[in-house]
Structure 1
Amino acid sequence: MKPIILYDLAAKDTSIRFSPYVWRTKLALEHKGLPYKTIAWGFTDKQMIAFSKQGLVPVIVDPNNGDKVVSDSWKIAEYLESQYPDKPSLFGSNSGKNGVYFVQKWWEVTGINQIVTFIVLDVWKCINAKDAEFFRTGREKLFKKTLEDIEKGRGDRVKAWRATLRPIKDLLREQPFIGGKTPNYSDYIVFAGFQWARCVSDFQLLEKDPKDPIYNWRERMLDLYGGLARKSPMVAPAAHL
């Protein structure tokens, strides 16, 4: 089998790959046991993925299926599930898929939309100059404030945010993964948000507490697939020992 090509968001140090949406896809590919290779991409490299008829990553090209092009992490997960049904399922069943989709919608509001306010300035600092100008302009227009103001007070705000993770914490008291005894795509959706922050920032989304079910789950996720996420290059590795 030929490796699937995955376009992957990179920092100015191109070994640092930090998109939470691309991390979902990487982990889905690992889950399926499918070979893949990544191509570094930046926020302003729109022409590089123009063939996908949109401007965001992840984008995959599958040479095993006529160079099929798929963009959007959820659509990629659906594609991998249908194209490679003999490989381990990402969802478990059709009803399971509906539950995973709920997790994605919930996490977009509770996770991604909040995490960005803790690390947005750190993202800006780690990308190349051309991307940084594009990123600052776009995010400040979206939030209607400066990156510095978006991130202000994060040390206090993160404490309140941790309390919103109670549903996951209670679930993980009862089972090792969100998906049950083994991880499924729900785990990859949520974990990718934590990995995003880990790659670009020294800011701690969770306290280092071995009694915290979410902290312990994150440690298990970091060790999946030969420690893929744990070994991934970071801006501030010393902060995450």
Structure 2
Amino acid sequence: MPRRLYSLACAERTRHFSPHVWKIILALRHKGLDFELVPLSFGDIPRIEDGSFTSVPVLNDNGHLEGDSFKIAVYLDEAYPDAPSLFGGTGGIAMARFFEAYCHTVLHPPVSTAAVRNMHAMMSPADQVHFTAVRQKRFGKSIEEIYAGRDAAMADFEARLAPLNHVLGEQPWFGGASPLFCDHVVFGAFQWARVCLETPVLPQGSRVADWFERCLDLYDGAGRSAVPARPVAA
């Protein structure tokens, strides 16, 4: 049975935009594991494997089902201890949890606001209906009303990067001498922006921008395989 990773994709099924899926794409490549990337629409998610999942990523590892990006990463390290470690020990797991919380609370909210219109435009008509309803429920606003707040949401984005730039001034990767899952976690946030925003969010020449370029080259350029965003007509 081939190893399968289920992923949300745009209408043409070639552009994968979930930051959480990108964490696991890199994690699987880090471990040297082959896999099939299975593109889905929102409507497909309830039909993944045994029907018990409500979000992606979902991994079917030769019959073992695992959901939630962090749980998948922990599972991979436990199931394949002879492959390069994603965490480098229990301390690395704790460190990765911090980076995940940082991304969820500091990086994801402004990217979500700025990317909302492009994400909507990339989707199939059925997914657009689902996406609009979810965003309306969460924000109490239409897609265009959410998008109208993009400049305010992104105004302090460079300042939000200060902890990352500080760490990268001391070491080449967030994992230390080499990338670990904590690097994949942060990469997922910026890859989401790269796929969904036509304007780069990382200041050119900054440490974090240089780090992101190196991340794109990891594992034979797995990150560069994603096509960057195209402008959406006004």
- Equivalent AA in structure 2 for residue 36 of structure 1: F
2:178 match: secondary structure = coil
Change (3 A) 1:155 1:204: farther
Instruction: Report the TM-score when normalising by structure 2.
Output: 0.93
Deviation at 1:235, TM superposition (A): 3.7
Deviation at 1:62, TM superposition (A): 1.1
Kindly report the root-mean-square deviation, in angstroms, between the aligned alpha carbons of the 2 structures. 1.6
Q: Tell me which of 215, 222, 228 is aligned to 1:221.
A: 215
- Equivalent AA in structure 1 for residue 124 of structure 2: N
Change (3 A) 1:105 1:85: same
Quote the Cα distance in structure 2 between the aligned partners of 1:101 and 1:46. Answer: 25
Contact in 1 for aligned 2:217/2:224 (Cα 8 Å): yes
1:90 match: secondary structure = coil
Quote the Cα distance in structure 2 between the aligned partners of 1:123 and 1:7. Answer: 18
Say which is worse superposed, 93-102 or 19-28, in terms of deviation.
93-102
Quote the Cα distance in structure 2 between the aligned partners of 1:216 and 1:55. Answer: 35
Cα displacement string for residues 88-139 of structure 1 (whole angstroms, at most 9, x for unaligned residues) = 1111111221111111112110112221011011101101000010001111
The answer to whether 1:111 aligns with 2:107 is: yes
Say which is worse superposed, 225-234 or 181-190, in terms of deviation.
225-234
Find the counterpart in structure 2 of residue 166 from structure 1: 162
Cα displacement string for residues 1-53 of structure 1 (whole angstroms, at most 9, x for unaligned residues) = x6411111110121111111110111100110011111111111133216151
- Equivalent AA in structure 2 for residue 133 of structure 1: V
Q: Tell me which of 65, 68, 84 is aligned to 1:69.
A: 65
Change (3 A) 1:203 1:155: farther
The answer to whether 1:202 aligns with 2:195 is: no
The answer to whether 1:131 aligns with 2:127 is: yes
Deviation at 1:234, TM superposition (A): 3.5
Deviation at 1:198, TM superposition (A): 1.2
Contact in 2 for aligned 1:119/1:203 (Cα 8 Å): no
Cα displacement string for residues 198-218 of structure 1 (whole angstroms, at most 9, x for unaligned residues) = 1122132123x22x1011111
Quote the Cα distance in structure 2 between the aligned partners of 1:103 and 1:192. Answer: 11
Quote the Cα distance in structure 2 between the aligned partners of 1:53 and 1:236. Answer: 34
Deviation at 1:156, TM superposition (A): 4.8
Q: Tell me which of 49, 74, 78 is aligned to 1:82.
A: 78
2:37 match: secondary structure = strand
Quote the Cα distance in structure 1 between the aligned partners of 2:89 and 2:46. Answer: 37
Runs (5+) with no aligned partner, structure 2: none
Quote the Cα distance in structure 1 between the aligned partners of 2:111 and 2:51. Answer: 28
Contact in 2 for aligned 1:16/1:235 (Cα 8 Å): no
Find the counterpart in structure 2 of residue 49 from structure 1: 48
Count of residues in correspondence between the two structures:
231
Deviation at 1:79, TM superposition (A): 0.6
Deviation at 1:140, TM superposition (A): 1.4
Cα displacement string for residues 160-219 of structure 1 (whole angstroms, at most 9, x for unaligned residues) = 122012111111112111111211111111111111121122132123x22x10111111
Contact in 2 for aligned 1:8/1:57 (Cα 8 Å): yes
Instruction: Report the TM-score when normalising by structure 1.
Output: 0.91
Contact in 2 for aligned 1:178/1:187 (Cα 8 Å): yes
Contact in 1 for aligned 2:117/2:143 (Cα 8 Å): yes
Quote the Cα distance in structure 2 between the aligned partners of 1:115 and 1:132. Answer: 18
Quote the Cα distance in structure 2 between the aligned partners of 1:220 and 1:184. Answer: 13
Runs (5+) with no aligned partner, structure 1: none
